[in-house]
Amino acid sequence: MIPELAITEWRNTVSWNSFEQVEQDLIICRAIVAIYNDELLASRLAFRGGTALHKLYLKPQPRYSEDVDVVQVISEPIKPIIDRLRDVLSFLGEPIIKQKRNNNTLIFRVNSTVLPVISMRLKIEINCREHFNVLGFETVDFSIKNQWFSGECKILTYKLDELIGTKVRALYERRKGRDLYDLYKALQNNGLNTENVIVCFKKYMSKERKNPTRELYLSNMNDKMTNEEFLGDTQQLLDPNEFYNPHIAYEMVKEKLINKI
């Protein structure tokens, strides 16, 4: 799909473990620009999740992230949004669309350029339930410069504290070690207000009618910290020059975030 020279050039920006990851990262960046240069989509979808955190706030990007998560900011029919996404992302071909009550997903498949050819997946997931925010939205500049594609846009997203608040929720609710890593890296950002993070976490949990105590959260994490799949989740996702010890990360996250719940 992309000239091999363009992928090699992009590897100077993101040094992931495989050419397929580098190629997919480049595709993701073009997709983000396409989405947020569309007037309708830019005003209706807020960028959230791991890719938003790493593309907008953690620089240089320390972790590979393969999905694009967005939130429908107002309650309205989702079909016009899906149709517009299909239009602006037509360079990826026709997606498979999976619709559920609380989210809609578009899954695009493209073949990699570098041999051996593999089928790469780009998933755009729309949260159609959480039509609220805690700290207000933010607009962040984003750009990509490459011989295959260059462009820029302004992205509607959440303030860093709120993004991290939803990450604290993700760490509790799912078994993915990348959530622990993301919190660990975010805590190294001097601009993070951990009090705000916990306020956001509690707000999102209360919307789900869940109110885990500190003790419940710690018990949840003690189980995960003995799970090899959880501990090894980031193994193929990090920059090769990135040193990471999940046990060290957990001690920091526990001290600065979990103990404040």
Q: What is the pLDDT of residues 135-155, one digit of tens each?
A: 999 999 999 999 999 999 999
Q: 109 and 201: one domain?
A: no
What pLDDT score was predicted for residue 1? 77
Q: 46 and 100: one domain?
A: yes
Q: 31 and 113: one domain?
A: yes
The candidate with the shortest Cα–Cα distance to 237, out of 170, 163, 182, 171, is 182
**How much is the pTM?**
0.95
Quote the number of domains for the chain.
2
Q: 231 and 141: one domain?
A: no
Q: 136 and 239: one domain?
A: no
The CATH number covering residue 106 comes to 3.10.450.620
Boundary (domain end) residue, out of 126, 158, 190: 158
Q: Tell me if 59 sits within 8 A of 185, measured CB to CB.
A: no
Q: 56 and 99: one domain?
A: yes
Structural domain boundaries, residue 205: 161-260
Q: Quick one: average pLDDT of 4-13?
A: 96
Q: Quick one: average pLDDT of 160-167?
A: 98
What pLDDT score was predicted for residue 82? 98
Task: Give 155-223 as a 3 state SS string.
Answer: EEEECHHHHHHHHHHHHHHCCCHHHHHHHHHHCCCCCCCHHHHHHHHHHHHHHCCCCCCHHHHHHHHHH
Q: Phi/psi of residue 117, each to 5°? A: -65, 130
Q: 13 and 114: one domain?
A: yes
Q: 100 and 85: one domain?
A: yes
Buried b (16+ CB within 10 A) or exposed e, 98-125: eeeeebbbbebebebbeeeeeebebebb
Q: 122 and 212: one domain?
A: no
- Among residues of the chain, what percentage have pLDDT more than 90? 93
Q: 145 and 195: one domain?
A: no
What pLDDT score was predicted for residue 241? 87
Residue 59 scores a pLDDT above 90: no
Boundary (domain end) residue, out of 133, 158, 183: 158
What pLDDT score was predicted for residue 12? 94
When the pLDDT of each residue in the chain is averaged and rounded to a whole number, the result is 96
What pLDDT score was predicted for residue 181? 98
Q: 181 and 213: one domain?
A: yes
What pLDDT score was predicted for residue 61? 92
Q: Quick one: average pLDDT of 89-108?
A: 96
Q: 136 and 167: one domain?
A: no
Boundary (domain end) residue, out of 115, 132, 158: 158
What pLDDT score was predicted for residue 179? 99
